[in-house]
Structure 1
Amino acid sequence: MLPKKRISYFLIILMVLFLGIVSRKINGIPTFIGDTLYAIMIYFGLRFLFLSLSPIKSIFIALLFCYSIEFQQLYRADWILNLRNSTIGHYILGQGFLWSDLGFYTIGVAIAYLMDSVLFKTHNSN
């Protein structure tokens, strides 16, 4: 049986995933909302997969992952451009590098950490 915390993390991931997709489909919602939600989803994905990972390590790994996704957008080979043009490729890999996205990822991870701290009374050990 799955631990209650893991189930809660999974439900948060589903909710954030839904909100992220909706934010891309509704005109008028700024794209940075989706970037922030993406980072929140990555943080909680790590917490879901690695329950013993400390929140502080989760912060650093989530930021490293999000920043890596953003920097890979500077790579412009035909094969990856074709992948980015697919729906799933667009959602996962993005389209073009923006320095501002790094800030929105940072904000998203900070929000996720605060949510984790409040909802699950986590601490920053390890």
Structure 2
Amino acid sequence: MRRSRFLYFMLITATIITGLLSRHFKSIPLFVGDILWALMVYFIARFLFINKPIKFVVVASLLFCFAIEFSQLYKAPWINNLRHTLFGRLVLGEGFLWSDLLCYVVGVGIGCIIDFYILKKGPK
């Protein structure tokens, strides 16, 4: 399959829909949403940096995810107010959890697996 921005846009859209739906079913553990969030970040990075090596996309995705998670330790009133909005909750999260870092690694790893095996691009 050819690497294209349209394909990654479709993967981003599908991941967002799946992530939002996962919050509506109590039987789905909350950490699944964190994994899907990181997967979405990976696909967005791949969309933006389509010609960069996969290692670059992995590092960029994990740096972004980890930066967002560690930003949750910052508790200024203005950012806390932003975190109490739907957008802020979805993008910035609400509270720091070490376990979220593992979820981000898993989500980005799933993105790599999709790149390697389903899209059959091979390593770059």
TM-score by length of 1: 0.92
Residue 4 of structure 1, CA deviation = 6.2
Which shifted more, 112-121 or 94-103?
A: 112-121
Which shifted more, 87-96 or 17-26?
A: 17-26
Tell me the distance in 1 between the aligned counterparts of 2:118 and 2:43: 12
Give 1:92's aligned residue: 91
Tell me the distance in 1 between the aligned counterparts of 2:82 and 2:89: 8
Percent of pairs identical after alignment?
A: 43
Does 1:104 find its partner at 2:93? no
Residue 122 of structure 1, CA deviation = 2.4
Contact 1:38 1:108 in 2 (8 A): yes
Q: Secondary structure at the match of 1:35?
A: helix
Tell me the distance in 2 between the aligned counterparts of 1:7 and 1:48: 8
Tell me the distance in 2 between the aligned counterparts of 1:53 and 1:24: 33
RMSD of equivalent CA atoms: 1.3
Tell me the distance in 2 between the aligned counterparts of 1:92 and 1:113: 22
Return 5+ residue gaps in structure 1 as ranges.
Answer: none
> What are the equivalent positions in structure 2 for 1:1-126 lying under 5 Å apart?
5-125=4-124
Contact 2:5 2:47 in 1 (8 A): yes
Residue 28 of structure 1, CA deviation = 2.6
Tell me the distance in 2 between the aligned counterparts of 1:29 and 1:6: 30
Paired letter, 2:12: I
Contact 1:70 1:94 in 2 (8 A): yes
Contact 2:65 2:104 in 1 (8 A): yes
Return 5+ residue gaps in structure 2 as ranges.
Answer: none
Tell me the distance in 2 between the aligned counterparts of 1:29 and 1:81: 27
Tell me the distance in 2 between the aligned counterparts of 1:29 and 1:78: 32
Contact 1:55 1:122 in 2 (8 A): no
Tell me the distance in 1 between the aligned counterparts of 2:43 and 2:77: 32
Paired letter, 2:115: D
